[in-house]
Amino acid sequence: MDRISLACGSGGKQTAELVKKVFLKNLYSEELSKLEDSAIIKNKNLKVAFTTDSYVVDPIFFPGGDIGRLCVCGTVNDISVSGAKIEAISLGFIIEEGLDISVLLKIVNSIKKTAKEAGVRIVTGDTKVVEKGKADKIFINTSGIGFFDSELDFSYSKVKKDDIIIINGEVGSHGIAVLNSRNKLGISGDIKSDVAPLNGLIDLIKRIPGIKCIKDVTRGGLITALNEISESCGFGAEIDEDKVPVSDSVKSACEMLGIDPFYAANEGKIVVIASKKSAEKILAEMKKHKYGKKSAIIGRFNEDKHVSVKTLIGTVRIAQSMSGEQMPRIC
């Protein structure tokens, strides 16, 4: 890797290579080395979750959401999957000269509405304006902090053979909605982003014994998320293609575009990895929440060293992390 390419921001193999060979190698810390959705910081009796993310989605308004809702949900979800209760987030705006104030107000109102839904406070922020042509309308950075109210200790490294994989609904809608909107593809069907704050759903289940980890499924999709867990725990995983929820509209769009929906981005999906004993109870609780009604058990971890998909015809294919630049600028 001599130069940065768009693939370095895809959330797949090139992103992982950049993070490990440039950032982790030179900026190592124990917390950073875990490469999970949030860093867990301990200081005497205090245990907090901390995360940061930047949002450069194109377009800034898309079916089902916008950059304002996206930036709040992304940070809320990254904190919540650690088991912590989200407390507060920051907002950093980089605004291109010439942006219509009505557009900014629409984004800010979306942030306000989403923060209220998630029950999170905006406590600090920063604003920078750059010359015309030096940004694309608006970029937003958020950081979040959460506190643990119980002795929860979720980690990818805790996953073992025979642990069950649960997802909270249909995959791929965010990536396809953004792609369709950005490129004006005119794909019909009710394809909307799934962007949503999932802290309420996670609060329902996080104290049920048997949960090993919860992971936010975003860039790189379901397959890349499972590969990240697999790399950390040392076990492989197999999912059943026919058990993974995918809407008919997204499935049709993916077939037309030559995209695997299991690699398409999500912004309102989590995978819960739990013991076989606890899985059905967790699934039942997830289905009670509005963002978990279509939850499903989709597979399990095994002794293999890779992630695989059992296809509809009974064959098994290896499914590595996304490679290349499938859908840039989706978050």
- In this structure, what CATH number is given to the domain that contains residue 304? 3.90.650.10
For residue 169, is pLDDT > 90?
yes
Tokens (6 digits) for 157: 């490294």
Residue 15, classed as helix, strand or coil, is helix
| Closest of 9, 52, 39 to residue 142, by C-alpha | 52
Is residue 223 in a domain? yes
Higher pLDDT, 330 or 280: 280
Q: Could you tell me if 47 and 141 lie in one domain?
A: yes
User: Could you give the percent of the chain with pLDDT greater than 70?
Assistant: 98
Q: What pLDDT, on the 0 to 100 scale, is given for residue 15?
A: 86
Query: Whole-angstrom Cα distance, residue 138 to residue 160?
Result: 42
Number of domains in the chain: 2
Cβ-Cβ contacts under 8 Å for 259 (sequence gap 6 or more): 175, 176, 253, 326, 327
Average pLDDT over residues 45-53: 95
Q: What is the CA radius of gyration of the chain?
A: 19
Q: Could you tell me if 65 and 200 lie in one domain?
A: no
Return the minimum-mean-pLDDT range out of 41-50, 97-106, 204-213, 292-301: 41-50
Average pLDDT over residues 225-239: 97
Is residue 325 in a domain? no
Q: Could you tell me if 192 and 298 lie in one domain?
A: yes
For residue 150, is pLDDT > 90?
no
What does the pLDDT look like over 71-126, one tens digit per residue?
Answer: 999 999 999 999 999 999 999 999 999 999 999 999 999 999 999 999 999 999 99
Residue found under tokens 């895809």: 10
Residue found under tokens 């104290």: 207
Enter the DSSP assignment of 197. -
Handedness of CA 194, 274, 317, 20 (dihedral sign): positive
Tokens (6 digits) for 26: 């030179």
Q: Could you tell me if 169 and 278 lie in one domain?
A: yes
Q: Could you tell me if 94 and 190 lie in one domain?
A: no
Q: What pLDDT, on the 0 to 100 scale, is given for residue 307?
A: 97
Tokens (6 digits) for 225: 């998320």
For residue 324, is pLDDT > 70?
no
Query: Whole-angstrom Cα distance, residue 203 to residue 254?
Result: 33
For residue 130, is pLDDT > 90?
yes
The per-residue pLDDT of the chain, averaged, comes to 95
What angle (nearest 5°) sits at the alpha carbon of residue 92, between those of residues 88 and 93? Answer: 140
* Pair 78, 216: CB distance under 8 Å: yes
Neighbours of 54 (CB within 10 A): 15
For residue 223, is pLDDT > 70?
yes
Residue where a domain terminates, one of 118, 147, 176: 147
Is residue 21 in a domain? no
Residue where a domain terminates, one of 91, 112, 147: 147
Is residue 330 in a domain? no
Is residue 24 in a domain? no
Q: Could you tell me if 130 and 161 lie in one domain?
A: no
Tokens (6 digits) for 13: 């193999």
For residue 326, is pLDDT > 70?
no
Q: Could you tell me if 70 and 141 lie in one domain?
A: yes
Q: Could you tell me if 220 and 126 lie in one domain?
A: no
Higher pLDDT, 1 or 103: 103
Query: Whole-angstrom Cα distance, residue 144 to residue 73?
Result: 11
Residue where a domain terminates, one of 117, 147, 177: 147
Q: What pLDDT, on the 0 to 100 scale, is given for residue 305?
A: 87
Q: What pLDDT, on the 0 to 100 scale, is given for residue 238?
A: 98
Is residue 200 in a domain? yes
Average pLDDT over residues 118-135: 97
Q: How confident is the model at residue 188 (pLDDT cuts 50, 70, 90)?
A: confident
Higher pLDDT, 159 or 331: 159
Is residue 23 in a domain? no
Higher pLDDT, 90 or 17: 90
Q: Could you tell me if 112 and 177 lie in one domain?
A: no
Is residue 130 in a domain? yes
Q: How far from each other are the two terminal CA atoms of the chain, in whole angstroms?
A: 23
Provide the residue range defining the domain that includes 302. Answer: 156-318
Query: Whole-angstrom Cα distance, residue 14 to residue 18?
Result: 6
Q: Could you tell me if 55 and 181 lie in one domain?
A: no
For residue 30, is pLDDT > 80?
yes
Q: What pLDDT, on the 0 to 100 scale, is given for residue 233?
A: 97
Q: Could you tell me if 132 and 98 lie in one domain?
A: yes
For residue 325, is pLDDT > 70?
no
| Closest of 236, 270, 244, 260 to residue 323, by C-alpha | 260
Neighbours of 143 (CB within 10 A): 18
137: domain CATH number? 3.30.1330.10
Q: Could you tell me if 240 and 101 lie in one domain?
A: no
